[in-house]
Structure 1
Amino acid sequence: MEIRRFTEQDRTELRALATIAGAGSPTESLWGHPESEAAIYLDPYLDLEPESVFVSVEDGALTGYLVGAVDSARFPSEEERMTEAIRHHRLFLRRGPAAFFARAIADTLASRVRRHAMAGDYTDPAYPAHLHINVAPAARGTGAAEGLVGHFLDHVRAAGAPGCHLQTLTENTRAVRFFTRVGFTPVGEPADVPGLRYQGRRVHQQTMVQAC
């Protein structure tokens, strides 16, 4: 297995991998429209900060990827990326996404009434870098994920960033265990994620950090 930086020649294969890499996880899909989801969690990284994108390769095929930013303050926020994807893909006119957003509005109102924290971008100058990682089901347990995170953190340190954060779901227990094993620590309380469901239940965002 090889861990290396993304090249433009990887883009088509990486796009295809993104549609299957999260299979079985609570974040497998947000609203059932892969193209718009890639416009939020994949394409901006390939276009704006390709030097911070790493891939795992086995027998000539991509098996996983990690995208991230060294300085999140200089990268479009998740809210900005989501707003643009909603507009560009006219998601409110699509049945699946429209149902998701209607549920998200109801969830947001319920969280405010109960005074629960809600998911959102994390800002702390001590942990300016952030990452998202996906590994194909067949490559889980092979060391691909550890290799991707290790290469990214080396990149972050070389760039002079003091720390890195990520956001996962408490319901994704496999991910929480993995991130803990590679040195990330939970910070803050889990926050409600409007609209998203896993096994019919609401899910909660957990921020985790690691000093570099």
Structure 2
Amino acid sequence: MEIRTFTEGDRAELRELFVRAGEGAPTESLWDHAESEAAVYLTPYMDLEPDSLFLAVSGGRLVGYLTGCPDTSAFPGEDVLLTRAVRKHHLLFRRKPLAFFARSMADIARAAAGRRPTAKGLDDPRWPAHLHINVAPEARGTGAADGLMDAWLDRLRTLGSPGCHLQTLRENARAVRFFRRMGFTEHGPALFVPGIRSNGEKLHQQTMVRAP
């Protein structure tokens, strides 16, 4: 298993892996439009943080990736990226994305009426860095995820980062166990994620943090 940083020549294959690596996960596809989902959760890292984008390569093929940012406050927020994607890809005129966003707004309205908090980002100087990690189904359990995480944590140590956070799903027990093994601990309660369902069930975002 080779772990290396992203290069421009990886762009097309990484876009393909972005779709393939989500197979079987509760959030395999959020609104069923891969191009716009990549515009929120992958492309900005290729464009703005290539030195913090690590790839796992096996047999000459990309099988996993980790996107990261040492300073979340300097990176475009998810709301900003999502708004851009909605406009660029005309998502409100596409049936499945429109259904997803309508359900999200209804979820938010119901939660507000019941004074129940919903998922949100973390803005805390104790853990300014953040990451996302994805590994293709065939590479799970091969050490790809460990290698990617080790490379990322080495980068944070080199940069002198005070800490890192990530957000996963409470219902993804495998991911939670992996992050605990990597030194992350749960921070705050798991909060309902508007719009997303898995087999009809609501999902909850769990923030996890790690200090050096």
TMscore range, shorter length: over 0.9
Alignment of 1:1-212 (within 5 A): 1-212=1-212
CA distance in 2, matches of 1:150, 1:42: 20
The AA in structure 2 aligned to 1:77 is: G
The AA in structure 2 aligned to 1:117 is: P
Unaligned runs of 5+ in 1: none
Tell me whether 71-80 or 108-117 shows the greater mean CA deviation.
108-117
CA distance in 1, matches of 2:119, 2:77: 13
Over the aligned positions, Cα root-mean-square deviation in angstroms equals 0.7
Matched-pair identity in %: 58
Q: CA deviation at 1:64?
A: 0.2
Unaligned runs of 5+ in 2: none
**1:105-138 deviations in Å (ceiling 9; x for gaps):** 1100111122221111111101000000110000
Tell me whether 35-44 or 111-120 shows the greater mean CA deviation.
111-120
1:207 counterpart SS class: strand
The AA in structure 1 aligned to 2:150 is: G
CA distance in 2, matches of 1:169, 1:116: 18
**1:116-175 deviations in Å (ceiling 9; x for gaps):** 211111111010000001100000000100110110111012112100000001111111
1:166 counterpart SS class: strand
1:188 counterpart SS class: coil
Q: CA deviation at 1:22?
A: 1.2
CA distance in 2, matches of 1:4, 1:170: 29
The AA in structure 2 aligned to 1:134 is: N
Q: CA deviation at 1:192?
A: 1.1
CA distance in 1, matches of 2:145, 2:107: 32
Q: CA deviation at 1:35?
A: 0.2
Length-normalised TM-score, structure 2:
0.98
